[in-house]
Structure 1
Amino acid sequence: MTDPSLLQDIRTSYDTVAASYAELVRGGDAWELPVLGIFANLVPPGARVLDVGCGPGRVTAILRSLGLDASGVDLSPGMIEIARRDHPHVPFEVGTMTALDCPDGDLGGLVAWWSIVHLPREVLPQVLAEFHRVLAPGGRLLIGFHVGDTQRHKDSGYGGHAMSVDVYRWLPDRLTALATAAGFTVEAQLVTDPAGEVPGGRLLFHKSGGGDGTTCATLGA
């Protein structure tokens, strides 16, 4: 069971910073489109895709532009308001990744693009199990995250607005082990700016069943 105060702190923090956050992330990075393109090519044709922790909806809109039937969900009503304003052709809903409003096996793909970074280490296994529940056999899971083995408290950000969230970094091998325990198989990984202050990680998994991948590769190689 997830502590309700954890979700409330995240919701309140991102409602507060929603407008400034949306402006700061508007451009993305050089690796974003290639990685999302690989993911899009692997999702079963015609399958539904959910962008979990979609924020202002920029990545969800990219997934739609790549031909996917993508929608977004976010804990913050403020973020969803901006997503609906900026991308009126894309479906968005308020919700939590700890209890997704999806039937079992409903999705062909799920993206968590830097949206697990505020989840405590003891909560992430529950969330990965929820991701596994809603994905169909052969479905793909793409996770973006901060690489490392630390956590810190963030009391302001995105223009100096007040926040109250913890930020967790993950070692790729540790995150892969948790996803494997939840029933996923890793297909590819990418770490960018490995010597930088905050390296970026991307991991691609599939759920066992039709269309399984067979090897682990390095994204972007």
Structure 2
Amino acid sequence: MGKPTRWSTDTGPDHSQWYVDRFRQLAAEGADLGGEARLLDAMVAPGSRILDAGCGTGRVGAALAARGHTVLGVDADPVLVDAARADHPGPRWLVADLATLDLPASGITEPFDAAVVAGNVMAFVAPGTERDVLTRMAAHLRPDGIVVVGFGTDRGYALTVFDADIDASGLRREHRFATWDLRPWHAGADFAVTVLRRPAK
């Protein structure tokens, strides 16, 4: 692992288990937890290879797998990955740092058609590694593959900085929305969903 993530430094020792319990409770109550997966599913071909980057408890990746995609989930928090493995068998779940992600070194050499970075992941990576995270996403995509990133605009990662990091990562910004259900982007929106693409050439 690289630098400690904000997830580990800015939360209490019981936060990860609280997060696991919270999403298990929401699922038990029948809450709609599949919005991000519905968007990705609509954007990729059937049976795509999708990287769930910062997978947490696996809710997005599991929903994509249920739609027929091949999913690999990666998260730096072993408590969350253990919960994903317990609750959502089928996809592969790995503990790894997104800022230094090197899946070929783990024997996973086939590139991905898409990556999803949901759940405010970009606001929880280690400070100063946001550009590295985007660069590693680009490195694991096939040419013309997409990355969809969502996070709150009040989380300390300014969109101007994000956009500069996108440009430096080799990805290109195509669309921005205010929600995962594609409500129009507007200045002052408290959430941003951005669609990025690795250029084909």
TM-score range, shorter chain: 0.7 to 0.9
1:109 is matched with which residue? Answer: 114
* Mapping of residues 60-99 of structure 1, within 5 Å: 60-99=61-100
TM-score normalised by structure 1 residue count: 0.70
The code of the aligned residue for 1:183 comes to G
Contact 1:49 1:69 in 2 (8 A): yes
Matched, 1:176 2:174: no
Which secondary structure does the structure 2 equivalent of 1:56 belong to? coil
CA distance in 1, matches of 2:115, 2:191: 19
Give the CA deviation at 1:70: 1.1
C-alpha change, 1:105 and 1:206, in structure 2 (3 Å) is farther
Q: Which residue of 1 aligns with 2:141?
A: 135
Residue 44 of structure 2 aligns with which residue?
43
> Among the aligned pairs, what percent are the same residue?
23
> Contact 2:6 / 2:125 at 8 angstroms: preserved in 1?
no
Distance in 2 (alpha carbons) for counterparts of 1:81 and 1:50: 17
The aligned residue for residue 201 of structure 1 is 192
The one-character-per-residue Cα deviations of 1:31-71 (angstroms, maximum 9, x if unpaired) are x7455323223335544211111111111111112322112
Distance 2:34 2:45 in 1: 19
Contact 1:11 1:76 in 2 (8 A): no
Q: Deviations over 1:132-179 (max 9, x none)?
A: 11111011101111113xxxxxxxxxxxxxxxxxxx433434423321
Number of residue-to-residue matches in the alignment: 187
Checking the alignment, whether the CA contact within 8 Å between 1:105 and 1:133 is kept in structure 2 is: no
CA distance in 2 between partners of 1:135 and 1:209 (Å): 10
Length-normalised TM-score, structure 2: 0.76
Distance 2:198 2:96 in 1: 23
Q: Which has the higher helix share?
A: 2
Closer, same or farther: CA 17–9 of 1 in aligned 2, 3 Å: closer
Unpaired runs of at least 5, structure 2? none
Contact 1:14/1:76 (<8 A) preserved: no
Change (3 A) 1:8 1:199: closer
Q: Is the Cα–Cα contact under 8 Å of residues 74 and 96 in structure 2 kept in the other structure? A: yes
In structure 1, how many angstroms separate the alpha carbons of the residues matched to 2:38 and 2:160?
A: 24
1:130: how far off? Answer: 1.1
Distance 1:25 1:10 in 2: 19
Aligned AA (1:96)? D
Shift of 1:128: 1.2
**Aligned alpha-carbon RMSD (Å):** 3.3
- Counterpart CA distance in 2 for 1:85 and 1:34 is 22
Cα pair 1:15 1:77 within 8 Å, conserved: no
2:171 maps to amino acid: F
